A = this chain, B = another copy of it.
Amino acid sequence: MGRWRPDARARLQEAALTLYGERGYEKTTVAEIAERAGLTKRTFFRYFADKREVLFWGSELLEQRMVAAIEAAPASTSALGLIGAALDAAAVRFEEVREFAGLRHRIIAASPELRERELIKAMSLTGAVTRALRARGLDDTAAALAAHTGATVMHVAFEQWVDDPSRTPFQQIARDSLAQLREIASTG
């Protein structure tokens, strides 16, 4: 073993998730998280900008994958087709973290402070998707509308997926939701 136990960041994340789950976010102190990870409060703040961010580390990865999926789609793909590709990429990521997704989601839902943070992350993601769609030739309005639509579908599908006991894949739920929305849009 090296000088320090490795994976300090992962240990902090795990400790935080456990403690937030056991006592709730507000009743957990950063010092407690750090102690459980065998570190100090100061080190916690070297890895995470604040007490909330420990639950959101890795969200850039989701963003990158969705943007990459949009960039990689065939040239003829329609706007909603691009959204579909991005949602498929999100599905892959979600399945990777399914183990923690339910607990994490419940923790966030229970705290206004964490919900605020989640919202701004979602906005950031929508902005990135909008830019990726513009880069694919969509005009500003169409890109923004499509990105927001994708965000709505992702949100709805996630809620359905996250605590689904039958473990239906996210991809399937998202595709169904998107198809449903297509129908509403075309018949309304």
The residue that A116 contacts in the complex, of B116, B144, B145, B148, with Cβ under 8 A, is B116
Chain B residue with the shortest CB-CB distance to A115 = B120
Per the bound structure, the CA–CA distance linking A142 and B181 in Å amounts to: 10
Complexed CA–CA distance, A7 and B57 (Å): 44
Task: Report which A residues bind B (CB closer than 8 A).
Answer: 112, 115-117, 119-120, 123, 141-142, 144-145, 148, 152, 184, 188
Contacts A148-B148, A148-B152, A152-B148 hold; do A184 and B119 have CB atoms under 8 A apart?
Answer: no
Given contacts A148-B148, A148-B152, whether A112 and B120 have CB atoms under 8 Å apart is: yes
Partner of A120, one of B116, B145, B188: B116
| Pairs A-B, 8 closest by C-beta atoms | A116-B116, A119-B119, A116-B120, A119-B120, A119-B123, A141-B184, A115-B120, A116-B117
Alpha-carbon separation in the docked complex, A112 to B121 (Å):
11
Q: Which residue of chain B has the shortest Cβ distance to A184 in the bound complex? A: B141
User: Please, how many angstroms separate the alpha-carbon atoms of A144 and B144 in the complex?
Assistant: 18
In the complex, chain B residues whose CB is within 8 Å of the CB of A148: 148, 152
Residues on B with C-beta less than 8 A from A123 are 119
A156 nearest in chain B by CB position: B144
Q: How far is the CB of A168 from chain B (nearest CB, A)?
A: 20
17 contacts between A and B (CB under 8 A): A112-B120, A115-B120, A116-B116, A116-B117, A116-B119, A116-B120, A119-B119, A119-B120, A119-B123, A141-B184, A142-B184, A142-B188, A144-B152, A145-B152, A145-B184, A148-B148, A148-B152
Given contacts A116-B117, A119-B123, A148-B148, 14 further A-B contacts (CB under 8 A): A112-B120, A115-B120, A116-B116, A116-B119, A116-B120, A119-B119, A119-B120, A141-B184, A142-B184, A142-B188, A144-B152, A145-B152, A145-B184, A148-B152
